[in-house]
């Protein structure tokens, strides 16, 4: 019998299909390895995309980093129907990692996984009364969630259901939350229609509203305190540094900029006084990103205009400049380039930037990018972590 002329082409087609199947299976194996094995094998590194971080005192005075990262596999979902196209960001294996990291040893000491039903949009971290609090807001199928960790040894001690049980006001369950600072507190909405309940983390007490919380703190708010604040020089982007002294409840740095345009009116409006610090200095598009009794940190630009470098300057309590770090020590993503990225303006950047201090370490974190540690006394860059 003569062999069929179709046999070589059929054989080639079968080989081609087999190769495609092998390549597909190989791609699946590689993908699974990346998204399943990598977190398990990353005990020496920090997994996922950076979200938030805290510097927390560790044993023998060392600082440890608690880092929250998104370990989900993200993708864009596109759906078409007659007359409509829907595009949305989705995730598979949606989860976060809460990692305890020792920057001196460059080692992850502990790691906690939290599974979610869909992407995580809003998350926060705070350190209060020796505990680390992690909170995420509701989004689509994700419910509001709260986690409380002890720091030594690191471990989860309470979560959402425990918080609800401890406070009768929350018994119906949560439908929304957000975190605010100074003091660290959660603003909660409940299923029975309560809006704006305030859980102060340091007290672990719930107030009916912000006004009730402020009323309870009224005595402390009348104590006189001194804060740093920036006032605008004229109508341009230049700002100047002041020390403002007055009642604690009235001299909030975030609300002083307009009043400092006319410092002499402070006594009438806030019963406060202002003294200009560093009279030979000004700060273009300046923003005080952190302050305490020992000084303040100011983020500013080296020039006005559509492109500029950003600088971080530290002042001590008497108003003397301790140090300034430039673009080489900061994230490149912090540079100003309004033509390429309008979101590089300080108005937008400030929502993704957080600067805090723990002991002698200054922690700068940029959401979605990473974190940097600086020495508070010298400004020396201690380390940089990108995620």
CATH of the domain at 360: 2.40.10.480
Residue-number span of the structural domain to which 193 is assigned: 45-78+87-216
> 120 and 59 in one domain?
yes
Q: What is the pLDDT of residue 315?
A: 94
Domain C-terminal end among 193, 216, 239: 216
Asked whether residue 106 is assigned to any structural domain, the reply reads yes
- Using pLDDT thresholds of 50, 70 and 90, give the confidence band for residue 36: very low
Domain C-terminal end among 216, 236, 268: 216
Task: Please write the tens of the pLDDT for every residue from 366-380.
Answer: 988 999 999 999 999
Tokens 């996922």, residue located? 48
> 260 and 209 in one domain?
no
Asked whether residue 111 is assigned to any structural domain, the reply reads yes
> 131 and 254 in one domain?
no
> 95 and 194 in one domain?
yes
Q: Is residue 81 predicted with pLDDT exceeding 70?
A: yes
Domain C-terminal end among 175, 201, 216: 216
% of the chain surpassing 90 pLDDT: 57
Asked whether residue 93 is assigned to any structural domain, the reply reads yes
**Exposure string (b/e) for 261-279, b if CB count within 10 Å is 16 or more?**
eebeebeeebebbbeebbe
Tokens 């930037």, residue located? 353
Total domains, the chain: 2
- Using pLDDT thresholds of 50, 70 and 90, give the confidence band for residue 99: very high
């Amino acid at each position: 019998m003569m062999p069929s002329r179709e046999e070589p082409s059929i054989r080639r087609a079968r080989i081609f299909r087999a190769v495609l199947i092998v390549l597909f299976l190989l791609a699946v194996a590689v993908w699974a390895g990346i998204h399943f094995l990598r977190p398990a094998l990353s005990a020496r590194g920090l997994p996922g995309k950076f979200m938030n971080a805290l510097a927390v005192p560790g044993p023998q005075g060392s600082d440890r980093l608690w880092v929250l990262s998104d370990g989900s596999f993200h993708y864009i979902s596109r759906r078409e129907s007659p007359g409509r196209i829907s595009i949305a960001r989705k995730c598979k294996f949606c989860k976060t990692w809460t990692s305890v990291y020792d920057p001196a040893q460059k080692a992850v000491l502990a790691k906690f996984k939290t599974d979610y039903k869909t992407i995580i949009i809003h998350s926060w971290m705070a350190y209060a009364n020796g505990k680390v609090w992690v909170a995420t807001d509701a989004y689509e199928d994700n419910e509001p969630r709260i986690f409380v960790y002890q720091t030594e040894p690191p471990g989860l001690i309470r979560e959402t259901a425990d918080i609800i049980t401890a406070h009768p006001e929350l018994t119906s369950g949560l439908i929304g939350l957000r975190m605010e600072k100074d003091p660290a507190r959660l603003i909660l909405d409940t299923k029975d229609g309560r809006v704006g309940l305030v859980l102060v983390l340091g007290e672990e007490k719930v107030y009916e509203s912000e006004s009730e919380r402020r009323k309870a703190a009224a005595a402390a708010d009348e104590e006189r305190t001194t804060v740093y604040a920036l006032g605008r020089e004229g109508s341009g982007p230049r700002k100047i540094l002041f020390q403002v002294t007055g009642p604690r409840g009235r001299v909030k740095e975030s609300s002083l900029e307009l009043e400092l345009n006319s410092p002499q009116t402070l006594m009438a409006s806030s019963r406060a006084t202002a003294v200009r610090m560093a009279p030979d200095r000004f700060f273009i598009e300046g923003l005080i990103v952190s302050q305490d009794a020992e000084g303040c940190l100011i983020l500013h630009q080296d020039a006005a205009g559509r492109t500029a470098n950003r600088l971080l300057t530290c002042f001590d309590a008497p108003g003397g400049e301790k140090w300034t770090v430039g673009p080489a020590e900061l994230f490149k993503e912090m540079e100003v380039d309004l033509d390429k990225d309008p979101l590089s303006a300080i108005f937008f950047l400030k929502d993704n930037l957080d600067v805090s201090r723990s002991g002698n370490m200054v922690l700068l974190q940029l959401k979605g990018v990473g974190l940097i540690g600086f020495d508070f006394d010298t400004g020396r860059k201690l380390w940089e972590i990108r995620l």
